[in-house]
Structure 1
Amino acid sequence: MADGAGQMATDAMVAKSSASAPHILAMARKAIRDPLVAFMAAGVALFGGYSIIERAQKPPVVFTPQVEQAMVGEYETLVGRPATAADKARIKRDYLAEELLFREAIDRNMHLTDGETRKRLVDKVRYLIAGAPPEPSEEQLVNHYADNLAQYRAEPRTSFTQVYLAQKPADAALLLAQLNAGETIAGDDFWLGRAFPRYGDSMVRGIFGQPFVATLKAAPEGRWFGPVRSPRGWHFVRKSESIASAMIPFPAIRDQVRQDYMIAHSNAAIDKALSGLKEKYDVEE
């Protein structure tokens, strides 16, 4: 009797389930046709897709066993003893803090807006692209020197003496006559003094400005002239020597030629890579 009652209960449940199946299917079809349900389903799908994309773009910060092993090993080598549990906890904490701060810096676009950060990244990529150039042979250096002779000319130089005045003198003609008569004029203190032996044009330009250089080059030697105005004040000047531009012999400038050659070698590799990078990134010229 018990077995018969159990079988009857089972048959009743199956019959009830079979009877309710069409009802459930009808409810499902109605729900699918409901605009609100469809909207919610689309929202769930979009959110799920966005989460997947976000996770791909921003991989999680994970302190992997490989990272831990490397950092603990480095720490133990540095301190000369096994790392304790506290040491390992601190290593993990410091790693995660540095990684989070680095990612925050990237998220704030500091690599795009901070000039020093940009420069370091650019220099790093330059090195990764170009690598360390091979040591040039003597023949290559001589050829580089011969192909770039204009870079290895000594600039014109001038030797001169000055008397500096902070303010324009009211009796300029009298002072000039006294100087040319061999008299001494005290003048004001100048931070570089009075004598400028064999100064290159670029040095004179940096101190006194280009108009001073032009006046100095056009002036005769052995006579005082002026006063010449500069951004620093007023100057009576006597030119004593003019040295024309001349080639610098290769042995005297070999180290500079070597440096220039290696820079040119690296720049050629960078230029070659840039054409591919322009295709990779959207460049508007």
Structure 2
Amino acid sequence: MLFIDRLIKDPLWLFILCGAIIFSVHSYYKPTATYSVDVSDYTKNQLLEERVMLLGRPLQQQEEARTIQAFIDREILFLEALEQGIHRYDPRVRDVLVERMRLDMVSNINLPDEGELLDYYSSNLDIYKTESEISFDQFHFPEAPKNTTQILFLLAKEPELKHIGKVQRRSFDRYGKSVLRALYDKAQLEQLERAEQGKWFAMSVGDNGWFVTRVREWHAPRLIPYPDIRDQVRIDVTTALERESIEKFMLNLRKKYHVRNDTQG
């Protein structure tokens, strides 16, 4: 009783007690937050017209109701996703939003004209050259035969031989390294690149079989004519403009956000 009398007589304790009671009552009766989903007549008409076009027939009343309700449910799910903050922890959603931001950043760039393409091509001739290429002849055996030494000896005597048993000689003209990587393993490719021109040699046996090869000619990189590479030049120029536009936006955005990392504490 003394404790209760003290609470009643002490204004500070009385104030705290009343505040706690008011807060509890307010929390209990606080209405659930609601969000508005607006469905205009225009939106309804668009939804129903699209559905009619898809089905190829008029909609029944129940179908119209389901179509509109499906749209409303979709909007509700979207708002609920925002409420739950899914965009903050779902990497797929984050990626979509980031890519959308990048698209917005480059939406106003002007496509390059022919003069800009030619200027870019002329200033970057080194990147518009072919690879170093090799022309070579080859006999391919599914597996190394027992008489490999005899085969090499035979080719040394008759270098223009067309057949070795049932295996026919094949010729490869101007093959670049990117293509050769798909045909040979690393060891075989290195042997081919170091080969002496005009001399038959045996490549190491691999999963792709056994090859006897002769390099006919090495081809230095050559400039690709502008008409043949124009589409790629356009892609390169557009990519450069997009990168420049994004960087311009990012310079301003970086000032807006404080970045913390472990090294900064």
Which shifted more, 149-158 or 102-111?
Answer: 102-111
Q: Which residue of 2 aligns with 1:21?
A: none
Q: Which residue of 2 aligns with 1:268?
A: 244
Q: Distance in 1 between matches of 2:155 and 2:25?
A: 93
Q: Deviations over 1:224-264 (max 9, x none)?
A: 21223456444322222321101112232222211211111
2:39 to 65, 71, 81: 65
Contact 2:137 2:213 in 1 (8 A): yes
Aligned partner of residue 154 in structure 1, secondary structure:
coil
Q: Deviations over 1:19-45 (max 9, x none)?
A: xxxxxxx98987962766544445566
Q: Distance in 1 between matches of 2:126 and 2:132?
A: 13
| 2:33 aligned with 1:33 | no
Alignment of 1:178-189 (within 5 A): 178-180=154-156, 181=158, 182=161, 183-186=163-166
Query: Structure 2: which amino acid aligns with 1:70?
Result: T
Deviation at 1:223, TM superposition (A): 2.6
Deviation at 1:204, TM superposition (A): 0.9
Query: Structure 1: which amino acid aligns with 2:38?
Result: T
Deviation at 1:85, TM superposition (A): 4.0
Contact 2:47 2:68 in 1 (8 A): no
Which shifted more, 77-86 or 167-176?
Answer: 77-86
Q: Which residue of 2 aligns with 1:257?
A: 233
Q: Distance in 2 between matches of 1:194 and 1:122?
A: 51
Aligned partner of residue 228 in structure 1, secondary structure:
coil
| 2:207 aligned with 1:214 | no
Specify whether residues 94 and 242 from structure 1 end up closer, same or farther in structure 2 by C-alpha distance, changes over 3 A only.
same
Q: Distance in 1 between matches of 2:218 and 2:52?
A: 63
1:124 to 100, 103, 120: 100
Size of the aligned set, in residue pairs, is 247
Query: Structure 2: which amino acid aligns with 1:73?
Result: Q
Query: Structure 1: which amino acid aligns with 2:70?
Result: D
Aligned partner of residue 164 in structure 2, secondary structure:
coil
Larger radius of gyration: 1
Q: Distance in 2 between matches of 1:150 and 1:105?
A: 50
Deviation at 1:270, TM superposition (A): 0.8
The RMSD of aligned alpha carbons is 4.1
Richer in helix (by share): 1
Q: Distance in 2 between matches of 1:46 and 1:194?
A: 85
Specify whether residues 170 and 184 from structure 1 end up closer, same or farther in structure 2 by C-alpha distance, changes over 3 A only.
closer
| 2:137 aligned with 1:164 | no
Contact 2:138 2:170 in 1 (8 A): yes
1:241 to 187, 196, 217: 217
Query: Structure 2: which amino acid aligns with 1:205?
Result: R
Q: Distance in 2 between matches of 1:209 and 1:283?
A: 46
Contact 1:162 1:237 in 2 (8 A): yes
Structure 1 alignment gaps of length 5 or more = 1-25
Structure 2 alignment gaps of length 5 or more = 1-6
Q: Distance in 1 between matches of 2:85 and 2:154?
A: 67
Aligned partner of residue 247 in structure 1, secondary structure:
coil
Give the percent of matched residue pairs that are identical in Structure 1 and Structure 2.
26
Query: Structure 2: which amino acid aligns with 1:184?
Result: I
